[in-house]
Amino acid sequence: MNNMLKDLILKFERKNVNLLLAIDLLFFLQKGRNTSLKREKKAQDRRVRKLMKAAYKIPFYRKKFDEAGLKPEDFRCADDLYKFPILTKDELREWMDEEVDKPQYKYYFLDTTSGSSGTPTRVYYSPREKAYNMANWMRVLIRGGYNPVTGLTASRMSAHSVSAGQKNIFQKLGFLRREFINQYAAEPDVIKQINEIKPDLLYMNKTEMMRVALYASKHNIPMHHPKFLVPTGEMIDNNARKLFTQVFGDVLIDAYGAAEIGSVMTRYHGSDHWRIHADLFSVNIFDDELKPAEEGHLCVTPLYRTDFPLINYQVGDRARSGVLANGAKAVLSILGRSNDFISHADGQFTTFFMVAPIFAHANEIVQVRLIEKTYDDLIIQAVAEYEMSDEERKAVEDRIISQMNEKLKQPMNITFEWKDVIQPDANGKLRLIVNEMK
């Protein structure tokens, strides 16, 4: 296939990605909660074989195959992926930096991770794989009981959306309805938006949802109870689960995933484990010596990603897996990251997502952490991308401090600490925001 024809196909697929989503959801994905394990396993193993054949043709992965002494025919099922080396975030970031802006990817989707670990990563999706990603997310909601055709969704505005607020013909007729919430507004304004929209499904980042729930609880403000609540982006610990239930009702869908890989597994209401979407993903756990284990480093392989594979991608969380009574593999517990808030004397909060764009566009910085010492004092720990002069560092500091004080609910005294590296927390995670106040 010549390059011109490839471009025409990619252009058509990108323009019609929602049509591809519908086709995938209707005809290619198993939507039921009680789908056949045998059928799911068959689809998983078929995709493993296809993925490894595709990966072998990619120079980045061919090197990994050769160094491990492996060939595509060594991989017949998901369990065989334990033979393959893990993919770290740093490796992915370096690989993507080499690929970004190449002309053959002009019709691909370029997404950026939130950077909640301190360093954002750019990732490419072909239109076909983007459609699969979105169809799988829709399936997560359907399996939880939500009807996307007749239901009303309210979600935070995505940093990647170019059409937020625009309604297509189906939405104007009352189908596939979706409203957007300005998550950067003050807490009373966000609460007002939710209560006026009255969504069937409320979808926001967990940190943003926490600040709204805390404010509503503290000020005894009644909140609309959606039928389905989906906090994303960070771990939902027991305290958060309790608060969300108190404020919004017992309607939680706990979906685990990331921008790089999609929605991998879900813990539905009334369940004590995360169900792996095994037809599209393989989940493996490695110990500290990178040997197969029941508890250790969580590594995910999105089996539908053959253009830019992520094989045994080390997400950065630790987990414990097990086998259910019906024989299905599941994740029983996850130890993940949970950012603090920047809190202010008047009771307001500034969250990570309010300030993250500042650092996502700060090309001089590769890693960052914000430490709140007092209501008035904030330290920014930063790792420079390259060796900078004192004048260059001062210019970066002045620019970021100015941008931060525009975003913070209340201006603060901000100082920089430049580091060679920022060490993770004791649990192996790296929070962007650390609040040290009692």
Average pLDDT over residues 10-33: 91
> Helix (H, G, I), strand (E, B), or coil: what is residue 101?
coil
Predicted pLDDT of residue 180 = 93
| Rg of the chain, C-alpha, whole Å | 22
* Cβ–Cβ under 8 Å, residues 148 and 137: no
Q: Which residue has the higher pLDDT, 23 or 385?
A: 23
d(CA 426, CA 349): 25
pLDDT over threshold 90, residue 398:
yes
> Helix (H, G, I), strand (E, B), or coil: what is residue 384?
strand
Domains 145-252 and 342-435 share a fold: no
Average pLDDT over residues 286-301: 93
Bridge-based pairing of strands 377-384 and 413-419 is parallel
| Percent of residues in the chain assigned helix, strand, coil, to nearest 5 | 35, 25, 40
d(CA 64, CA 57): 11
Predicted pLDDT of residue 170 = 61
The tens digit of pLDDT for each residue in 104-126 reads: 999 999 988 765 555 668 899 99
Q: Which of 86-90, 104-108, 336-340, 426-430 has the lowest mean pLDDT?
A: 426-430
Predicted pLDDT of residue 159 = 47
pLDDT class of 161 with cuts at 50, 70, 90: very low
* Greatest CA separation for the chain: 63
* Cβ–Cβ under 8 Å, residues 328 and 36: no
Average pLDDT over residues 27-42: 88
Q: Which of 59-73, 99-113, 402-416 has the lowest mean pLDDT?
A: 99-113
d(CA 328, CA 332): 12
Distances (CA, A) of 50 to 24, 96, 138, 343: 18, 22, 24, 49
Token couple for 96 = 């993507």
Q: Hey, where are the domains in the chain?
A: 3-130+272-335, 145-252, 342-435
CATH code assigned to 145-252: 3.40.50.980
Average pLDDT over residues 266-291: 93
pLDDT over threshold 60, residue 428:
no
pLDDT over threshold 80, residue 10:
yes
DSSP-assigned states of every residue in 401-426: HHHHHHHSSS--EEEEEEES-PPP-T
Q: Which amino acid is at 416?
A: F
The tens digit of pLDDT for each residue in 171-225 reads: 666 667 889 998 878 889 999 999 999 999 999 888 789 889 988 988 999 999 9
pLDDT over threshold 80, residue 158:
no
Q: What is the pTM of this model?
A: 0.78
d(CA 174, CA 176): 7
Residue 306 dihedral angles phi and psi, to the nearest 5°: -105, -15
The CATH number for 342-435, chosen from 1.20.1290.10, 2.40.50.140, 3.40.1010.20, 3.30.300.30, is 3.30.300.30
Predicted pLDDT of residue 163 = 42
pLDDT class of 279 with cuts at 50, 70, 90: very high
pLDDT over threshold 80, residue 162:
no
The CATH number for 3-130+272-335, chosen from 3.40.50.12780, 3.40.50.80, 3.40.50.300, 3.30.9.10, is 3.40.50.12780
Predicted pLDDT of residue 166 = 58
> Mean pLDDT in the chain?
89
The strand ranges marked E within 344-387 are 349-350, 365-372, 377-384
* Cβ–Cβ under 8 Å, residues 214 and 188: no
Predicted pLDDT of residue 119 = 62
pLDDT over threshold 50, residue 164:
no
Predicted pLDDT of residue 236 = 84
Q: Identify which of 292, 262, 286, 288 has the alpha carbon closest to the alpha carbon of residue 276.
A: 262
pLDDT class of 425 with cuts at 50, 70, 90: low
**CA angle, residues 60, 62, 64, in degrees to nearest 5:** 80
